[in-house]
Amino acid sequence: MASRADWWTGGLAVGFCVGAMLAAAAVLLSARPPDRPSADIHAEYVKYLSGRDTITAYLAYPERADRAPGVVVIHEIFGMSDFIRQTTEQLAREGFVALAPDLLSRRGGTPASTDSARKLIGGLNPDTVTMDVDATVGYLKTLKAVRRDRIGVIGFCWGGGQSFRYATNNASLRAFVVCYGPGPDASAIARVRASGLGVYAENDARIDAGLADVAAAVRQYGKAYRYTVYPGVGHGFLRTREKPEVADSAWSAVVRFFRETLEDGRRR
């Protein structure tokens, strides 16, 4: 159970961009989201254009007879990793078509060194990132297995901040999830149309410091956002799984949220 959950009829959480945790890099490739009952999926790499450049992304399909909602998965500051691929596959097992772009594709793809990846991501142009996520959403909508009107996005750490930011730039987005990521400028909150969910950690003061100020902005603009601060864990806990039961609880909340916002009982 979370120690604190704030429910707003509106809102976005504002935080400060957290630096990468070098001590966690050793577990980056072996971490994974919570186990769930096995389900057949199909996963593959795909390529599509964003402007004149080619984006490489990891795509996972669920086994279902009808069209599924789509979810874009935005990676951490470490770039594309096993954790992100496994998260993409897990979303497919939960019934979503999930697509994770390597947002370092324009720089030759995620390098083997996590330190190099951090430096490259730190130099990305925010507007170019938005363009590449736009291209990712556009590609999802071309897939016959996807419901074009039911698209969500989830991001982790740096990607959590990008998920927030993207929600301010795409009025057709249905839902977004921010996993311990910083928020956009308060003035950008007015542009958000999607429903949002925040996943934060108790031992993550740099990100959590902005949460208290968010309530005023959320009430001012009347946006749909709810968040939970999970007890006894730190930044990146869905990846590090320092407390598996807490990670499982948070992941279950994410899946429920996507089902509430992207599934409406009228499978097409």
Asked if residue 268 belongs to a domain, the reply is: no
Number of domains in the chain: 1
Structure token digits, residue 78: 């470490």
CB burial readout 200-210, b (16+ within 10 A) else e = bbbebeebbee
Range of the domain at 95: 4-262
pLDDT classification of 217: cutoffs 50, 70, 90: confident
Give me the phi and psi of 225, to 5 degrees please.
-150, 135
- Alpha-carbon distance of 126 to 111, in angstroms, equals 20
CATH, residue 44: 3.40.50.1820
Evaluate whether residue 255 is within a structural domain.
yes
- CB contact set of 186 (below 8 Å; sequence gap of 6+): 14, 217
Instruction: Evaluate whether residue 89 is within a structural domain.
Output: yes
**CB count in 10 Å sphere of residue 151:** 26
pLDDT of residue 18: 34
The CA distance from 196 to 184, in Å, is 13
Residue 267 lies in a domain: no
Q: What is the pLDDT of residues 160-189, one digit of tens each?
A: 999 999 999 999 999 999 999 988 888 888
Alpha-carbon gap, residue 223 to 91, rounded angstroms: 26
Q: Is residue 107 domain-resident?
A: yes
pLDDT tens track for 6-21: 434 333 333 333 333 3
Tokens found for residue 56:
């490489």
The Cβ of residue 174 has, within 10 Å, a number of other Cβ atoms equal to 21
In a domain, 106, yes or no: yes
Whole-model pTM? 0.86
**What count of residues does the chain have?**
268
